[in-house]
Amino acid sequence: MFENIDEKTIKFALVILVVIIIFSIPFAVISNQTPKDKMVSEIEPALERVNKTQTTEEEDSVTEEEISSNEDAEEEEEQSKEEESQEAESESDVQPLEPLENLPDEANEANQNSVTIEKPTIDSLISKANNYRADKNYVKAIETYKAAAEQADDMTQKAQCYEQVASVYAIVKRYGSAMAYAQKAYNMSPSTSRELLLARLYYKTGDVDKATKRVNNILQRDFSVDR
pLDDT in tens, 91-140: 544 444 444 444 455 545 545 554 455 678 989 999 999 999 999 999 99
Superfamily for 122-225?
Tetratricopeptide repeat domain (1.25.40.10)
The per-residue pLDDT for 18 is: 77
The per-residue pLDDT for 170 is: 96
To the nearest 10°, report the CA torsion of 105, 108, 110, 116: -140
The DSSP element (H or E) to which 155 belongs, if any, is helix 155-171
Pick the more confident residue, 66 or 220. Answer: 220
The per-residue pLDDT for 97 is: 44
Asked whether residue 193 carries a pLDDT value surpassing 60, the answer given is yes
Could you tell me which residues come within 8 angstroms of residue 169 by beta carbon, excluding any fewer than 6 positions away?
Answer: 142, 175, 177, 178, 181
Mean pLDDT of 159-168: 96
The per-residue pLDDT for 148 is: 95
Instruction: Please give the mean pLDDT across all residues of the chain.
Output: 75
* Residues 163, 152 contacting (CB under 8 angstroms): no
Asked whether residue 62 carries a pLDDT value surpassing 50, the answer given is no
What spatial distance separates the first Cα and last Cα of the chain, rounded to whole Å? 183
pLDDT tens digits along 14-59: 788 877 877 776 655 555 555 555 554 555 665 566 566 555 555 5
